[in-house]
Amino acid sequence: MSHIVAIVGRPNVGKSTLFNRILGSRHAIVHDKPGVTRDRNYGTADWAGRSFTLIDTGGYVPQSQDVFEQAIREQAEISIDEAEVVIFLVDGTAGVTPLDDEIAAILRKSRKKVCLVVNKVDNEKREADVANFYNLGFGGPIALSALIGRKVGDFLDELTQSFSVDPPEERTDSRLRLAIVGKPNVGKSSLVNAILGERRTIVTDIPGTTRDSTDSVLKYQKEEIVLVDTAGLRRKSRIKESIEYYSMIRALKSIDQCDVAVLISDVQMGFDKQDLKIMERIAECRRGALIAVNKWDTVEKDDKTAKEYELAVRHYLRTYDYVPIMFISALEKLRVYKVIDIAKTIFAERQKRIPTNALNKILLREIQSSPPSSKSGKEIKINYITQVKTEPPTFSFFANEPEMIEDNYKRFLERKLRDHFGFEGVPISFYFRRKN
């Protein structure tokens, strides 16, 4: 499972800039106006073979009564609670502020490992001001500049030194691990209970019922399947933003550990941006996926309703069109075991290996019929294809000019590979390499 690292600090100290710098992209909105980052933001980072989930939080204002700042504060508290390491970011140009002192006191109470990082130290002249931050009580502060990248690499060396180097994926447990994920109150625990046939997890309409992920073992058709019911809500949360945020943070852990994730969506709420963000995380983790639209028994329908709803969901999914969609009712136990059957099929697809001769015979014929084009006009030839791994299925394409193959042609190759070989519900990875 990926280590979780949270960035916290008062408004406008450069949290999103550091987040973007570590991830190597403009993943978060960066603006001088305090309070721009209100929603949760996360990404998977890798440093020297050590991967971790990085969470960017909004500016933390401990005692504010402003409704947005209350929501930001709750999200920061959730992130601190869930994180293995907290990056406490301060502004080297402003010195220690009373708000920094307040946040430091909260972090000391959390008993989490804290890395005190002084941002905006753009040159050696500003290094002298860093000593003032020793007073916050976290030992030697680390000086860097997130904006220009100064000493960020040194900081990442220190941050990740206790993290284990990611080993090659080796399966020691052959059982399917099935994560049940989704927004709060969509019926995750109800589905687990319906499948298990017993009240293994508590189900109520009160926000905050499921605090932790709970693994249950299902014996189904003479085999064992591990079900993971992910937390949707936090008992003390009052603000909707923070409840959704907590749900996501807890789901991250379960998705990291599963083979197939069942994304539960509530037909009454509709499929929305939060559902899409969860789907994006599943795809980012390269896990199998299935969307189960719950509470289908509550919908007035005819023979076109399911198809129309599915088209609406697929409009949201776009590039995740390989994910199957089904309609269930956990309460009425409608098609709940079909969820298991489809998840087992996806699990098998994730482990599938295509013979090299079949790949080349079929896909090279498709490539000959519709060869790649390049903006320079230079001929691009793809000569050889092979599958290099499973879980997730990964393919290497060897070409004379691999860097010139455009994204739309890569999507064409993926469509053709899926048309001929399946892989429903499974993300697939492509590598394009220069031929010897």
Q: Encode pLDDT of 74-93 as tens digits.
A: 777 877 887 889 999 999 99
pLDDT in tens, 27-58: 544 445 444 444 447 777 888 878 888 888 87
The Cα-based distances of 384 to 120, 221, 393, 408, 434 in angstroms read 49, 40, 17, 20, 10
Q: Could you write out the DSSP letters of every residue in 262-320? A: EEEEETTT-S-HHHHHHHHHHHHTT-EEEEEEE-GGGS---TTHHHHHHHHHHHHHGGG
Q: How far apart are CA 276 and CA 58, in angstroms?
A: 21
Q: How far apart are CA 153 and CA 141, in angstroms?
A: 15
Q: How far apart are CA 153 and CA 134, in angstroms?
A: 22
Q: What was the pLDDT predicted at 209?
A: 42
**Residue 233 reports pLDDT greater than 50:** no
pTM of this structure? 0.66
Domain boundaries, the chain: 3-160, 176-349, 356-434
Residue 116: strand pairing partners: 88
Q: What was the pLDDT predicted at 234?
A: 36
**How far, in whole angstroms, is CA 178 from its chain's centroid?**
16
CA neighbours closer than 13 Å in the CB half-sphere of residue 212? 5
Q: Does domain 356-434 have CATH number 3.30.300.20?
A: yes
Tokens describing residue 316: 């949201």
Which stretch of 79-83, 300-304, 354-358, 395-399 has the lowest confidence by average pLDDT? 79-83
pLDDT in tens, 265-303: 999 999 988 889 889 889 988 999 999 999 999 999 898
**Residue 258 reports pLDDT greater than 70:** yes
Indicate if 356-434 has the same CATH topology as 3-160.
no
Average pLDDT over residues 226-245: 52
CATH superfamily of 3-160: P-loop containing nucleotide triphosphate hydrolases (3.40.50.300)
**Residue 244 reports pLDDT greater than 80:** no
pLDDT in tens, 328-340: 999 999 999 999 9
Burial class of residue 289 (count of CB atoms within 10 Å of its CB; 0-12, 13-18, 19+) = buried
Q: What is the dihedral of CA 213, 219, 224, 228, to 10 degrees?
A: -10
Q: Which pLDDT band, with edges at 50, 70 and 90, does 376 fall under?
A: confident
Phi, psi (rounded to 5 degrees) for 298:
-90, 0
Q: Could you write out the DSSP letters of every residue in 373-414? A: --TT-----EEEEEEEETTTTEEEEEESSGGG--HHHHHHHH
pLDDT in tens, 124-176: 888 888 999 999 999 899 999 999 999 999 999 999 988 877 555 555 678 89
Sheet holding 41-47, edge to edge: 41-47, 50-56, 3-8, 85-91, 113-119, 142-143
Q: What was the pLDDT predicted at 124?
A: 87
Instruction: Name the architecture of domain 176-349.
Output: 3-Layer(aba) Sandwich (3.40)
